[in-house]
C-alpha cells in the first residue's frame, strides 16, 4: 500500500472563495506560512458561478434592453439582436480574468495552493483527497471558508430543465420562457436579466411580496419595473411540485386555494442556500453545528476550538461575499495576535435589480425594534439633474437618523448606481457622522451623489430642491 504524503503548514485555509483567498493573502502579509485548499476553482461560488458572472449577464442584458429603447434620446437603432454565445463568452472571459488574477495574487504572496477535498482527521490534521491521491497536512491554525450551495427541494430535484442559479447562468441559449420559484435576491436579479433579453418570466413567491424583509417602498418599485418588462409576479403561492417533461417543465401550484399548473421551457429554483459544512469531518474534532448547519463563532471568528476559525456563509449572519472577506481579514489578524474583532456596526447589501437597491444599517422598522427614536428623510431621484439626463428618475435616497442628535444610523437607496452610492452612507454610519456632516460636504454637480447631500439637507430641515 502506497504511503500517504505528509506535509506541515502554519495556517491552513479550506476554501478559496472571497473569504478564504482574502484570509490567505492577509495571513501571508502578516508573516504566516499559508496553505489554501480548494476542491473546485479559485474564487469560489462568487467569482465562478455567483456574484461576478451574474453581474456580467445583467450588464449584457442592460445593454440589449437599453439599445432597443434609445429613441427617447433621439437615437434610432434597428435590428437589435442577441448573440447569446457571445454573451456567454463575455461572461466567461470576465470570470477567467478575475480567477486567474486571484491565482497570481496568492502565488505572489507565497501562498501554497492545493487542489482537493479537505477533511479533519484530528484537531491539527486534515486529509486532502483529489484525483491525484491523498495528502495529509498538519497545521497550527485553520480557517474554514467553504461557503454555501443552493438548496435543492425534494419535490423539485435539479435536472436538465429544473435548474439552480448556476444552471441558469450557463444556459447555452436563451429560452422563450422561464419560471422562477423564489422571489429573493438571486431570483429577482436573474429574472430581471432574462426579462431584458425578452424571455417571458413568471415568479412564484410564497410570501406576500418579493424581496421579503425589505422596505415595501423599495420592493414596490422593483415589482413595478419587472411587471413593466412583462414579468408575471404571483405571490402567496404554494408550490407543490415540478416535473421535467423533457421539452418543458410543469409546476403544480396552489393559488387562492385553487390548484393550477404553470408551464415554461425551464424552471429556476432559488429558495435559499445551505452551508457547506457536511463533508469536513467536523464531527471528528468536536465542532458542533446549529440546526441550519452553521458553525458558531466568537468575535474573533474562533470556533469552540480556539485554533480553528470559521468565516463566511458557514457562520451566522447574511450570506454576502464582502462579509466573508471582512471576516477573513479578522481571522487572519487574530491568528497573528492582533486585537482584531468583528464589528457589524453596519453591513451594506445590494440587490442588482432594476432599479438597484442598496441598504445599510437601520431602516425605520429595525430602529423602532431596537428602541431608537429615529427620523426618516427621503429625497427622490426625479428632481436630480444627472438622473433626469440619464432618464433614470425612478427611486430615492432614504436617510435614517437618530432623533436626538442627527447621527446617521441607516440608509436605503433605490435607483441608478445605488450599489456605488451606498458606500458613502456606510462610511457615515461607521464614522458616526450626522446628517449635517453630509449636508455640509460639497458634492460635485451634476451627479447622482448629490441626492445623498439633498437627503441630508432634508433631514436637517433645510432642503434646497424640495419644498417642505
Enzyme catalytic residues: 445
The answer to whether 213 is a known ligand-binding residue is no
The answer to whether 147 is a known ligand-binding residue is yes
The answer to whether 74 is a known ligand-binding residue is no
- Comparing C-alpha atoms, which of 421, 467, 458, 420 is closest to residue 436? 458
The answer to whether 272 is a known ligand-binding residue is yes
The answer to whether 373 is a known ligand-binding residue is no
The answer to whether 186 is a known ligand-binding residue is yes
Q: How many whole angstroms separate alpha carbon 292 and alpha carbon 316?
A: 9
Q: How many whole angstroms separate alpha carbon 387 and alpha carbon 416?
A: 8
Please write down the HEC assignment for all residues of the chain.
CCCCEEEEEEEEEECCCCCHHHHHHHHHHCCCCEEEEECCCCCHHHHHHCHHHHHHHHHHHHHHHHHCCHHHHCCCCCCCCCCHHHHHHHHHHHHHHHHHHHHHHHHHCCCEEEECEEEEEECCEEEEEECCEEEEEEEEEEEECCCEEECCECCECCCCCEECHHHHHCCCCCCCEEEEECCCHHHHHHHHHHHHCCCEEEEECCCCCCCCCCCHHHHHHHHHHHHHCCCEEECCEEEEEEEECCCCEEEEEEECCEEEEEEECEEEECCCEEECCCCCCHHHCCCCECCCCCECCCCCCECCCCCEEECHHHCCCCCCHHHHHHHHHHHHHHHCCCCCCCCCCCCCEEECCCCCEEEEECCHHHHHHCCCCEEEEEEEHHHCHHHHHHCCCCCEEEEEEECCCCEEEEEEEECCCHHHHHHHHHHHHHCCCEHHHHHHCCCCCCCCCHHHHHHHHHHCCCCCCCCC
The answer to whether 353 is a known ligand-binding residue is no
Query: Based on C-alpha coordinates, what's the Rg of the chain?
Result: 24
The answer to whether 146 is a known ligand-binding residue is yes
The answer to whether 185 is a known ligand-binding residue is yes
The answer to whether 188 is a known ligand-binding residue is yes
SS3 47: helix
The answer to whether 55 is a known ligand-binding residue is yes
The answer to whether 335 is a known ligand-binding residue is no
Q: How many whole angstroms separate alpha carbon 163 and alpha carbon 186?
A: 13
The answer to whether 3 is a known ligand-binding residue is no
The answer to whether 148 is a known ligand-binding residue is yes
Q: In the numeric block, which cell numbers belong to residue 140?
A: 497550527
The answer to whether 108 is a known ligand-binding residue is no
Binding-site residue numbers for FAD are 55, 146-148, 313
**Which parts are annotated binding residues?**
55, 146-148, 182-189, 205, 272, 313
Binding residue numbers for NAD(+): 182-189, 205, 272
Amino acid at each position: 500500500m502506497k504511503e500517504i504524503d505528509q506535509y506541515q503548514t502554519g495556517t491552513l485555509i479550506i476554501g478559496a472563495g472571497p473569504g478564504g483567498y482574502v484570509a490567505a493573502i492577509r495571513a501571508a502579509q502578516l508573516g504566516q506560512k499559508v496553505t489554501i485548499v480548494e476542491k473546485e476553482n479559485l474564487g469560489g461560488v462568487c467569482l465562478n458561478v455567483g456574484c461576478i458572472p451574474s453581474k456580467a449577464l445583467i450588464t449584457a442584458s442592460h445593454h440589449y434592453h437599453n439599445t432597443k429603447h434609445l429613441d427617447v434620446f433621439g437615437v434610432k437603432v434597428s435590428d437589435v439582436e442577441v448573440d447569446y454565445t457571445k454573451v456567454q463568452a463575455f461572461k466567461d472571459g470576465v470570470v477567467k480574468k478575475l480567477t486567474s488574477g486571484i491565482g497570481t495574487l496568492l502565488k505572489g504572496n507565497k501562498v501554497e495552493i492545493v487542489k482537493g477535498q479537505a477533511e479533519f482527521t484530528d484537531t491539527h490534521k486534515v486529509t486532502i483527497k483529489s484525483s491525484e491521491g491523498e495528502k495529509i497536512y498538519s497545521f497550527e491554525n485553520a480557517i474554514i471558508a467553504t461557503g454555501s450551495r443552493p438548496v435543492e427541494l425534494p419535490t423539485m430535484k435539479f435536472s436538465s430543465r429544473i435548474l439552480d442559479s448556476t444552471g441558469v447562468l450557463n444556459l447555452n441559449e436563451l429560452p422563450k420562457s422561464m419560471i422562477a420559484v423564489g422571489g429573493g435576491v438571486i431570483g429577482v436579479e436573474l429574472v430581471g436579466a432574462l426579462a431584458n433579453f425578452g424571455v417571458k418570466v413568471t415568479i412564484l413567491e410564497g410570501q406576500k411580496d418579493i424581496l421579503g424583509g425589505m422596505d415595501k417602498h423599495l420592493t414596490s418599485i422593483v415589482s413595478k419595473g419587472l411587471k413593466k418588462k412583462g414579468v408575471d409576479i404571483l405571490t402567496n403561492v404554494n408550490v407543490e411540485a415540478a416535473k421535467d417533461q423533457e421539452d418543458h417543465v410543469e409546476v403544480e401550484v396552489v393559488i387562492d386555494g385553487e390548484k393550477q399548473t404553470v408551464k415554461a421551457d425551464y424552471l429556476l429554483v432559488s429558495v435559499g442556500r445551505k452551508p457547506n459544512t457536511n463533508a469536513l469531518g467536523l464531527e471528528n474534532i468536536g465542532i458542533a453545528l446549529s440546526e441550519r448547519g452553521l458553525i458558531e463563532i466568537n468575535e474573533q471568528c474562533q470556533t469552540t476550538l480556539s485554533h480553528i476559525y470559521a468565516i463566511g456563509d458557514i457562520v451566522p449572519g447574511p450570506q454576502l461575499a464582502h462579509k466573508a472577506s471582512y471576516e477573513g481579514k479578522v481571522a487572519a489578524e487574530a491568528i497573528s495576535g492582533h486585537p482584531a474583532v468583528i464589528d457589524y456596526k453596519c453591513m451594506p447589501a445590494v440587490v442588482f435589480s432594476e432599479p438597484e437597491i442598496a441598504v445599510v444599517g437601520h431602516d425605520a422598522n429595525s430602529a423602532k425594534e431596537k428602541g431608537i427614536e429615529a427620523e426618516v428623510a427621503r429625497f427622490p431621484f426625479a428632481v436630480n439633474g444627472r438622473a433626469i439626463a440619464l432618464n433614470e428618475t425612478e427611486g430615492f435616497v432614504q436617510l435614517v437618523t437618530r432623533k436626538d442628535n442627527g447621527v446617521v444610523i441607516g440608509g436605503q437607496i433605490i435607483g441608478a448606481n445605488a450599489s456605488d452610492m451606498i458606500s458613502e452612507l456606510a462610511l457615515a454610519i461607521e464614522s458616526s457622522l450626522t446628517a449635517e456632516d453630509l449636508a455640509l460636504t460639497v458634492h460635485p454637480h451634476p451627479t447622482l451623489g448629490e441626492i445623498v447631500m439633498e437627503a441630508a439637507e432634508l433631514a436637517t430641515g433645510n432642503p434646497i430642491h424640495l419644498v417642505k
